[in-house]
């Protein structure tokens, strides 16, 4: 049996592992090599960006529940790996990490209304302090979360005391950037 095959697209002779399996073909392999198939698929995606994006959007809208369940399960099972990957990325991309943090701070500052009183500002600081103290007491990582997200879909919350809640890190990351009334 031959251990090589000629690609009908690029006319190169390659090893059998250079071709995808295709049970409809007599030899059980695709007529074009993996490289040519990759190029063909890349060209198709570039020429059909709009329809592909629209199909993906429709799919995500029709399958919100299963997608959310899968993502939550994945995050739960891969929490440590995700955290390590994030830290690694932040170390490898310090300027981008700083830019992301700056954007978040600016969003928070822009979401802090000018009519906020000094007492309310102190109340915000107290919420953050309480979260830190709880974390120190029981060792469970805490986040101060905006009940209505600062950058939500269809809704934007304010950085005010009555829009803040203390959640465990796990609770906060599983909720993502969503507000339960608009899901």
Q: Using an 8 Å Cβ cutoff, are 129 and 137 in contact?
A: no
Which residue did the predictor score with more confidence, 17 or 154?
17
Q: Which pLDDT score is estimated for 183? A: 42
Q: What percent of the chain lies above the pLDDT cut of 90?
A: 42
**Confidence (pTM):** 0.45
129-177, pLDDT tens digit by residue? Answer: 898 899 899 999 888 888 888 777 777 788 889 998 999 988 888 776 6
Which residue did the predictor score with more confidence, 149 or 23?
23
Q: Does 37 have pLDDT greater than 60?
A: yes
91-112, pLDDT tens digit by residue? Answer: 998 888 877 776 677 677 778 8
DSSP string, the chain: --SEEE-TTT--EEEGGGEEE-TTSTTSEEEEEHHHHHHHHHHHHHHTHHHHHHHHHHHHHHTHHHHHHHHHHHHHHTHHHHHHHHHHHHHH-HHHHHHHHHHHHHHHHHTS-TT--HHHHHHHHHHHHHHHHHHHHH---EEEEESS-TT-SS----SSGGGEEEEEHHHHHHHTT--GGG-
Residues 65 and 126: their CA atoms lie apart, in Å, by 36
- When pLDDT is averaged across residues 73-100 and rounded to a whole number, the result is 86
Q: Does 17 have pLDDT greater than 90?
A: yes
Q: Which residues pair with 146 in a beta bridge?
A: 164
């Amino acid at each position: 049996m031959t251990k090589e095959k000629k690609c009908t697209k690029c006319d190169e002779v390659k090893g059998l592992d250079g071709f995808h399996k295709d049970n409809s073909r007599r030899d059980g392999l695709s007529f074009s090599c993996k490289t040519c198939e990759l190029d063909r698929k890349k060209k198709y995606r570039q020429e059909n960006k709009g329809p592909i994006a629209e199909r993906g959007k429709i799919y995500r809208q029709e399958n919100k529940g299963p997608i959310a369940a899968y993502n939550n399960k994945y995050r739960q099972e891969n929490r440590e790996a995700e955290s390590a990957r994030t830290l690694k990325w932040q170390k490898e991309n310090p300027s981008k990490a700083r830019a992301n943090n700056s954007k978040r701070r600016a969003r928070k500052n822009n979401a802090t209304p000018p009519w906020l009183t000094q007492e309310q500002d102190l109340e915000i600081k107290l919420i953050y302090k309480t979260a830190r103290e709880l974390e120190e007491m029981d060792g469970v990582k805490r986040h101060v979360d905006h009940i209505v997200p600062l950058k939500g879909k269809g809704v934007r919350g304010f950085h005010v005391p009555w829009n803040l809640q203390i959640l465990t890190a796990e609770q906060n990351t599983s909720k993502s950037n969503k507000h339960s009334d608009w899901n």
